[in-house]
Amino acid sequence: MAEIYFIASGIIIITLFAVRSTTVSHTLVFIYIAFLGWLCISEWQLLDQNVSGLLHADALGVLFLFVTLIVTFFSAMHYIIYAQKRNQGARAISIHNGSFVIFVTAISGALLSTHIGMLWAFLEASTLSGASLIYHDRDRLSLEATWKYLFVSSIGVTLGFAGIMFLSIAAHNTPNYISNLVEIAPQMNVGWIKTSFIFVLTGFSVKMGIVPLFTIDIDAKDSSPSPVGAMFSGPLMSVGFLAIYRFYQIYCHTSILEWMNNLLLFTGVLSLFLAAVFILKTNNYKRMLAYSSMEHAGLILVAFSTGVNGYLVAILHLILHAFAKAGLFIQIGQVHRVFSSKAVESCGGYFKVSPTGSITLLAGLLAIVAMPPSGLFMTEFMLFKSLMISGKWWIVFIVMILLCFFVYAMVRNFFNLIFIDNPQAMIRQTVNPLESVPPLMLIGVVLIFGVVSPDFLISIIKQAIQVLPK
């Protein structure tokens, strides 16, 4: 099934770069999304079967495939509006759509990979195609963000490759299939696998947007089109987590389990701290959303570090965050169109311009700062419970204090945007209220899951984490 998907993707990619018809280009993207949906369903049906090969998704991979499918669909829909309102030429659209399909194909390939080397190759492909998406607007800021992204991401992926090499040394040249490595992990040299995990966590932090290589992720989300920011905060962040998770999955049944958890805890708290410092200083709405993604990535690592009590919490939080942040990025793109600015001092009185868009922003704000009925409130509550069960009361105190800074910064700036008139705010365009429906749908999923327990989702996550220590 996966082979057919990649063949179809290759044909669509070649065609996208060749065509110069805007209608045909957008149509091909949605044909590709249909193939991606077919792949998701096919892999879902194969979950309970013993399938061998290089490309097959486990339960976690299937979950993230569906997240990728949903966010990709809404991002592609919004890009049509983005390109139309900015009078993008046919060539720019074809380059974007071709790069977009390569990017999503690379992400889906990483989610399907059962071999560590293939996982790394797909992550590298997401770097190259992601850089093309960042450079879409062809201005000075996008150029600077692109070369930085290429440079830092290449360093990150190289460090990740070094981690794979250390794993290969520890495994004594055992084939790098994840299932094989899990079996022999208890016999691996502790020093080599600790070194491997440090390199992997450092290198793939560039994909998840956490310490230490987080800065380029912030610049990329700020300089790229809003639909691309949605993809970076959703599917790319998920695949960054999955890359780290695969190595955790291999090493978790060894003596370094507690050491890995402590390292993840330290990385998560440090990411939270730095994100809190920077979000208080920024005056750019897209960068605020980017630092908010870094905050939630830190929370995910903190939750995961608590072990069996936090595995489910971390994955559920990651999925809900992907939907909420994708909706907010799409909506803030409309704000950018209205005021031709992302700066706090150049925006204001948005409710008078777009009541529907303002309601969407308020719903997204409610979701992302984890206020009831947000599903993220449920996961953060479960996070604190997991920390208390683990005896980490001092971490609970630190995380709560840091979260107060995020709530303050987000609520203050977004309330100013929506309700406070700003004499310097110049309205450049008006927005059709119907354009706010797609992001509101994404955000609505997060709010609904805060009221209605997502039992089917929780059951799949439980199936995914069965391979981890009990």
Average pLDDT of the residues of the chain: 95
Q: Regarding predicted confidence, which is higher, 51 or 309?
A: 309
Strand partners of residue 343: 284
The whole-number average pLDDT for the span 108-112 is 97
Per-residue pLDDT band for 300 (boundaries 50, 70, 90) equals very high
- pLDDT, one tens digit per residue, over 376-431 is 999 999 999 999 998 899 999 999 999 999 999 999 999 999 999 998 889 988 88
- Domain spans of the chain? 264-470
- pLDDT, one tens digit per residue, over 45-92 is 998 787 778 899 999 999 999 999 999 999 999 999 999 998 889 999
- pLDDT, one tens digit per residue, over 325-345 is 999 999 999 999 999 999 999
Q: Is 440 a residue whose pLDDT tops 90?
A: yes
What integer pLDDT is reported at residue 253 of this predicted model?
A: 92
Q: Regarding predicted confidence, which is higher, 429 or 121?
A: 121
What integer pLDDT is reported at residue 303 of this predicted model?
A: 97
Q: Is 221 a residue whose pLDDT tops 90?
A: yes
**Rounded percentage of the chain residues whose pLDDT exceeds 90:** 91
